[in-house]
Chain A
Amino acid sequence: MLNAIHRELKGELTDFGGWEMPLWYSTGSVKEHLYVIEKSGVFDIGHMDLLRVKGKEAFNLIQLCLTRNISKLGVGACGYSMILNEQGHVVDDTIVYNLGKDNLGKDEYILIVNAAMGPAVQRHLEQHNVFQDVTVTDESGCFSKIDLQGPASVAIIKRLLEKGRGTIEGLRYFQFRGDYSNPVSEIAFDGNIPILLSRTGYTGEVGFEIIMPYGKTLDVWNMILDAGGSDVIPCGLAARDSLRVGAVLPLSHQDIGNWPFVHTPWDFALPRDKEGKFTKDFIGSGIYDNPLSSYTYPFCGFDPRKTETHGTSVLWEEAPIGTVSTCAIDMAIGRMEGKIYSVASPDKPASFKPKGLVCGFVRVERPLEPGAKVTLKDSRRSIEVEIVSDIRPNRTARVGI
C-alpha cells in the first residue's frame, strides 16, 4: 500500500520476508534513529501478521500456547509473550491483546505476530487446540499497521483523534483502546477511521502502534506526517533495528528461534512467581528438562565499529565460546568516563556528543557476568565489547502521558 510513498521518499528498499521495505529514507538512518529519541518517527509496519482468537475457550487456548500468564491480563491490556514448541524453542514472539467479550459473550484476543508468521502460528495454535469453542482467524490483508514512536508522538496522536471518539488520557504502557475492525470502535482517527491504538512499540521510547483497516493506510500515513510537521520523519528498517537493540529487544529468527529459550534477557516473558517458579503449565514449560546449552547476553562496545551479524565468533580469554546473533550501532549513545550516556540522559556531561556504540546480542555456551569483556571476531577484524545488563539508558517508553 505504501510502496509508492517509499519510492517517492527515496527509500533504500530491501526484501524483508517477501515485502519490499525501506531500509532508510533520504534523511538517512542515523538521523532517523536520533529523531525517534528526540522528536518522533513513523514506521510502516504493515508486514506484521494478526491473528484473532475468539470463543468461549479462547482464554484456555492462549493460556496453553503462550508463555505469559494471561489470567492477569485485564481487558484493554496487552502483553509481550513467547510462543514455544514442546522442546522449549521459540516459534515466534507476540503481543497479545485482551479485547474482552464480544456482543455474543465470547472472549476475544488479538495476537500480533512477526512478518509471514501468521500461518505458522495459526497452525501451532490449531495443533494444540483441545478445546471446543474457539476459532483462530488470520486477518492478514484486512489491516495495516503504522507505528509512531518518540516523545512528540503523544501530541501528534491527540491532534488526529476524531472528536468524541476516544482519548489517550491515562493510557499506560502496554494498554490499548479500540478495534480496527469495529466501525464504531471506541477510538477513531479523523474521518471516522476505526483504529486499535496501543501504547507499545519496538523502539524503547514512548509511542504508539496503530492498527487500521487496510484501505486507510495511506490516509493515516499522510495524516501523521501532516499533523507532525517537523516533529516527525519517516523511518526505515535500519533505524527500527538499531533502536530495538538499544532497548534490548529480540528479533525473531535472529535472537530468538529454534534453540532453547532459557538464559536470555527476555526471561521476563516466562510466567514466574516471586520464588521463580512457573505460575502455570504451557506448551514448552519443560524447557529446563533438557541440559542447558546456551546463554544469550546483550553487549555494548566502545566505539561504533561492528562485525558481521552472521559468522562472527565470540572469544573469551581467546577461546571461542559462541556466536553473535545481532550486531548494530546505537547512534544515540556514547561512553564518557566509563559510563554510557544517551542524548536523552538528563545527567549527560555538557560536552557529550554521541558517536554511537556497537551493541547487540551474543549466544554463548558458558555464563558471563555483566562487565565481562569478550572479543567479537569476523573475517575482517576483532573488537572488544562488554557484556552489559542494559544498553541505551534513559529510555522513555514508560513515561506518564
Chain B
Amino acid sequence: MKSFEELDIRDDLFYAQTHEWVKKTGGNARIGVDDYAQSSLGDVVYVELPSMGTAVTAGASFGSLESTKAVSDVNSPVTGKIVAVNEALSDNPDLVNTSPYEDGWIIEVEMADSKELDALMKSDAYLAFLKTLDPVD
C-alpha cells in the first residue's frame, strides 16, 4: 500500500474512521472510499451496489468492495435515502482504485440531517487519525 506521504487526502471532503469520504452537494452527500482504503484493499474487482431508494443509516454498511485480498463493507457516514448509484462500477470496479474521489464514487444520499457531517473528520484531523493506524514509512 501507499506510504503516508503518498496518500491523497483532499481538503474539500469529510472522512469517516472507516475510510469513506463524503462530499456535500446541496442537501445531498456523495460517498466513496478514500485513497487509504483503496490502497490497502488492493485491486477492487467487484462492487456490490445497493438499489436506488434504499434507506441508509450513519455507520451502517450499504454495500461491499471485493478486492483480490478481501471483501470489505462500505458504510454510509450519513443517514438518509440513496438517490444515485454509480452504475459504471458494475463494469469498471477498478475505478475505485484509479479515481477514488471522482469516477470511483459509489452512492449519493439525500441526507436526513446534514448536521451529521459535523461528526466526521476534516482532512487534517483525518490525516492525524491515519497516522495512529499505520507506522509511517
Contact = CB atoms under 8 A, between A and B. Distances in A.
A10 to B, nearest CB: 8
B45 to A, nearest CB: 5
Interface stretch (B15-23, B66-74, B124-132): B66-74
Interface string B31-45: 000000000001101
A238 B46 contact: no
Interface in B54-88: 64, 66, 68-69, 71
Contact of A12 (B42, B48, B64, B94): B42
A192 B6 CA distance: 41
Nearest to B97: A28
Contacts of B64: 380
B68 A29 contact: yes
A132 B43 CA distance: 54
B45 A304 contact: yes
Given A28-B97, A238-B69, A305 B46 contact: yes
Contacts of A355: 45-46
Nearest to A29: B68
A331 B93 CA distance: 13
Interface magnitude class on chain B: 10 to 19
Contacts, number: 47
Contacts of A29: 42-43, 68-69
A300 to B, nearest CB: 15
A90 to B, nearest CB: 27
B1 interface: yes
Given A305-B48, A331-B45, A356-B45, A30 B71 contact: no
Interface in A14-28: 23-24, 28
Contacts of A356: 45-46
Contact of B42 (A28, A305, A328, A380): A28
B99 to A, nearest CB: 15
Interface string A313-352: 0000000000000001101000000000000000000000
B80 to A, nearest CB: 24
A133 B66 CA distance: 55
Nearest to A27: B43
Contacts of B68: 24, 28-30, 238, 242, 328-329, 331
A303 B42 contact: no
A377 to B, nearest CB: 14
Given A12-B1, A28-B97, A380-B64, A23 B69 contact: yes
Given A29-B42, A356-B45, A380 B69 contact: no
Interface string B99-129: 0000000000000000000000000000000
Interface of A: 12, 23-24, 28-31, 238, 242, 303-306, 328-329, 331, 355-356, 380-381
Interface of B: 1, 42-43, 45-46, 48, 64, 66, 68-69, 71, 94, 97
6 contacts: A24-B42, A28-B43, A30-B45, A238-B68, A303-B46, A329-B66
Please provide the 10 A-B residue pairs with the shortest distance between their CB atoms, ordered closest to farther.
Answer: A30-B43, A28-B43, A304-B46, A29-B68, A304-B45, A238-B68, A356-B45, A305-B46, A29-B43, A305-B66
